[in-house]
């Protein structure tokens, strides 16, 4: 007789937070914002996702970060989805600020300007979103949900799903970068069709 799943479950102490005790899969994105002096900031985030089936995107941040303050002030932000060969560039975007409140590491990161909002993308990202702030929901302890409405979206032609292109072939040619929280990443180049039940609706 096989052991039931419940027999293998271990109850975790909720203090401190549980999220360091196991791995979860998340996207890895770079959020772009405009600084008070007109320059641009880039910051990686992994607690990020579409909000519903419409054109909304959100991510978690803290009011202590300049990303939060910039978005509250400018009401806009960009989202870059890096490719697997951009892990180092994404890491550089997380470098700490100097005494003058700027990140010297950003000077070596190639960027391209957004078309609708005042912002930049990480050059080479396979998916780029331009967002206006919809709302900020504070109160997740010290964190906040920043929700944006997508005004424009741009995708690398090699990553675009087409009816004439097999999804697995697309992933093989244009693999995805995933963040395995805490502290690891993976390259996704293989997938299988999900066995949706007959009659399933989103």
Render pLDDT for 125-154 as a digit per residue (tens, 0 to 9). 999 999 999 999 999 999 999 999 999 999
Name the DSSP letter for residue 36: T
Render pLDDT for 155-196 as a digit per residue (tens, 0 to 9). 999 999 998 889 999 999 999 999 999 999 999 999 998 898
Which domains, from first to last, does the chain contain? 23-188 (2.30.110.10)
Q: What tokens does 133 get?
A: 């702030």
pTM of the predicted protein model: 0.92
Q: Say how far apart CA 93 and CA 151 lie, in whole Å.
A: 24
Are residues 51 and 58 in contact, defined by beta-carbon separation less than 8 angstroms? Answer: yes
């Amino acid at each position: 007789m096989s052991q039931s799943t419940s027999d293998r479950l271990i109850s975790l102490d909720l203090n401190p937070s549980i999220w360091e005790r196991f791995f979860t899969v998340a996207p890895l994105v770079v959020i772009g914002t405009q600084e008070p002096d007109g320059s641009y900031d880039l910051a990686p985030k992994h607690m990020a996702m579409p909000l519903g089936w419409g054109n909304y995107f959100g991510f978690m941040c803290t009011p202590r970060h300049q990303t939060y303050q910039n978005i509250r002030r400018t009401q806009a932000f960009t989202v870059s989805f890096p490719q697997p060969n951009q892990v180092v560039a994404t890491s550089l975007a997380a470098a700490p600020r100097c005494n003058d409140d700027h990140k010297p590491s950003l000077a070596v990161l190639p960027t391209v300007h957004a078309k609708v909002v005042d912002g930049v993308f990480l050059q080479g990202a396979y998916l780029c979103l331009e967002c206006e702030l919809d709302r900020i929901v504070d109160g997740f302890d010290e964190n906040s949900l920043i929700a944006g409405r997508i005004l424009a979206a741009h995708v690398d032609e090699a990553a675009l799903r087409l009816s004439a292109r097999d999804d697995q072939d697309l992933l093989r040619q244009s693999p995805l970068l995933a963040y395995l929280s805490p502290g690891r990443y993976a390259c996704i180049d293989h997938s299988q069709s999900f066995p949706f039940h007959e009659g399933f609706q989103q």
